[in-house]
Structure 1
Amino acid sequence: MCCVVAWRVSWLTMLSREATEAAPAAVFTEVERHMLEQTTPERMRQAPRDLAFYVRALARLGGYLDRASDAPPGTTVIWRGFSRLADLVEGARVATSPPHTYG
């Protein structure tokens, strides 16, 4: 599993720099995109929902400050962002699962 995450982090970091026209659905699931949209501050939600929007939202989860003078997000903040995003997705799944009945 660790290799899959490492590959995804490296791939997304390079993709966001080299293929900015790539569709966000090629990288993020629908649930992941929804969670990233919900964690984006209201004032930033008006931006086009392109790959750059989702990569920056993911990087902000990982600690990226997203200031105008900042370099593009690197693998460390992308990795941390994916870690936090996985927790958010799992929390949403648990919260929306039907309750189990035992007995």
Structure 2
Amino acid sequence: MGTIERLERALALFLVVAWRVTYLMRLGRTCPDLDAHLFFDPDEIRAAHLLTKTRMPVQPKLNEVLRLVARLGGFLARKGDGEPGAETIWKGLTKVHIAAETMRLLRDDGDADISV
């Protein structure tokens, strides 16, 4: 980031990511029963369930998926832990995005031996 222009582009990207993480965190706390498909791609929802080795419900709720994502980021989800914070959601989203992109690439590759 040797120039002002590069720094400005990086900050713009960081602001968008920070906004999404904070938005998800707040909605997960205030409107936990919203449909997760409104905020996550189907591949992201499936990736969160696959990575945490949990069974995916027919209609996943926002807070359910958000807690799975946060668990991937280090949230322990113990009885007295409360709701996940921005840092664990951010770290978990990183893992979920990688897994979802991998699933898309495998599906688009058309390999008959792999069912994703």
Name the TM-score class by shorter chain: 0.7 to 0.9
**Partner of residue 47 from structure 2, selected from 29, 32, 35:** 35
1:21 Cα deviation after fit: 2.4
1:46 Cα deviation after fit: 7.3
With over 3 angstroms needed to count, the CA separation of the structure-2 counterparts of 1:4 and 1:46, relative to structure 1, is closer
TM-score w.r.t. structure 2 length? 0.73
Contact 2:73 2:89 in 1 (8 A): yes
The answer for the alignment partner of 2:32 in structure 1 is 20
Gaps of 5+ in 2: 1-12, 111-116
Superposed CA offset, 1:47-100 (max 9, x none)? 77321210110001101111111121000101101111111112222323327x
Distance 1:46 1:81 in 2: 17
Aligned length: 97
The answer for the alignment partner of 2:60 in structure 1 is 49
**Partner of residue 11 from structure 1, selected from 23, 47, 58:** 23
Equivalent residue letter for 1:20: P
SS in structure 2 of the partner of residue 67 of structure 1:
coil
- Calculate the aligned-residue CA RMSD, in Å: 2.0
TM-score w.r.t. structure 1 length? 0.81
Distance 1:6 1:14 in 2: 12
- Tell me if 1:82 matches 2:89: no
With over 3 angstroms needed to count, the CA separation of the structure-2 counterparts of 1:90 and 1:30, relative to structure 1, is same
Higher relative contact order (CA 8 A, sep 6+): 1
- Tell me if 1:2 matches 2:14: yes
Gaps of 5+ in 1: none
Identity across aligned pairs (percent)?
A: 31
Distance 1:95 1:11 in 2: 30
